[in-house]
Amino acid sequence: MSTPLADLPHQTRATLAMRATVPGLRHLAGHLGAILATGTLIVLQPPLWWLALPVHGILIVFLFTLQHECTHRTPFASDRLCDFVGHVIGLVILNPFLWFRHFHFAHHRHTNRAGDPELDGPPLETRQQWFWHVSGIPYWHAQIALLIRLACGRETPPWLPARIRRRAEREARILLAIHALALLTLLWSPLILWLWIVPCLLGQPALRLYLLAEHGDCPQVADMLENTRTTFTTRAIRALAWNMPYHAEHHLAPQVPFHRLPALHALIRDRLRVTAPGYAAFTRDYLARRR
């Protein structure tokens, strides 16, 4: 059976897969500019400044979607720049980049089927389990535990190659050391509390809700048009998530950079099988199946 991507002319596929640095840097500048703006409000503390805390946190935790793209080395034309950005974001969101790259490759090889490491957690069969998951608390607990296991040499999943494991362990030790030093600054300044810790705690639920829509309740089959969902949403959310709401498109062609996914979507939209008209609509349907 042909796929939507295979049915496209060779030149079209080649054009879609072309990497470029300028669109990625421009988008990153906008994302970091928004973080700087909300961070400035938090530091200056004008009236109602606290309203900026969850917005600041959402902007920070959604850098995950850029780190995700960096695993594929698609947001910039330079592999080194992709890796550098991926490592920095991993430091900010407690997601070690080398470990995550191979975790994510395993996810692409076995999307929503046996062998997909994203399925290793407990299933969300009740609303109580959904609420606990969406709170973000399990995420932070799991990431801290992961960093400790990696740093101690006790993280040995089958999808993490031995040649990479030592580098990943070294990265985890560096991340833990930097975070320990950052936490020490709380002894004389609350800055990272209000610019990083509290906002990230407040923003993580939005990322959990967003990520559930990518594969949540999709059929556990090999067909990318069925095991992955594209969610139709606003331009602002697509920008925040680096166009990853076009998620079926991404799984069909992970070599296509984020800034070319809208073009790919336009070419194959009529062949998508699992979609949602928005994240609120997806969440309503998801919870309705858990009564």
- pLDDT tens digits for range 203-225: 999 999 999 999 999 999 999 99
User: What pLDDT does residue 7 have?
Assistant: 83
List, in sequence order, every residue forming a beta bridge with 230; answer none if it has no partner: 275
147 phi-psi bin (left φ>0, alpha ψ -120 to 50, beta other): alpha
User: What pLDDT does residue 6 have?
Assistant: 80
SS3 at position 241: coil
Confidence of residue 201 (pLDDT cuts 50, 70, 90): very high
Confidence of residue 4 (pLDDT cuts 50, 70, 90): confident
> What is the chain's mean pLDDT, rounded?
96
Report DSSP state, residue 231.
E
User: What pLDDT does residue 2 have?
Assistant: 56
Burial 47-71 (b: 16+ CB within 10 A, else e): eeeeebbbbbbbbbbbbbbbbbbbb
Indicate the domain borders of the chain: 10-288
- pLDDT tens digits for range 162-188: 999 999 999 999 999 999 999 999 999
Confidence of residue 140 (pLDDT cuts 50, 70, 90): very high
Q: What is the mean pLDDT of residues 114-143?
A: 95
Taking the whole predicted model, whether its pTM rises above 0.85 is answered as: yes
3 has a pLDDT exceeding 80 = no
Say which range, 1-10, 87-96, 195-204, has the weakest mean pLDDT: 1-10
Residue with tokens 């166009």: 243
Amino acid letter at 280?
Answer: A
- Alpha-carbon Rg of the chain, whole angstroms? 19
User: What pLDDT does residue 122 have?
Assistant: 86
Please name the residue ranges forming H helices in 73-197. 79-93, 97-109, 127-134, 137-151, 162-184, 191-192
5 has a pLDDT exceeding 90 = no
User: What pLDDT does residue 291 have?
Assistant: 78
Confidence of residue 226 (pLDDT cuts 50, 70, 90): very high
- pLDDT tens digits for range 32-78: 999 999 999 999 999 999 999 999 999 999 999 999 999 999 999 99
Is there a contact between 255 and 72 (Cβ–Cβ < 8 Å)? Answer: yes
- pLDDT tens digits for range 228-247: 999 999 999 999 999 999 99
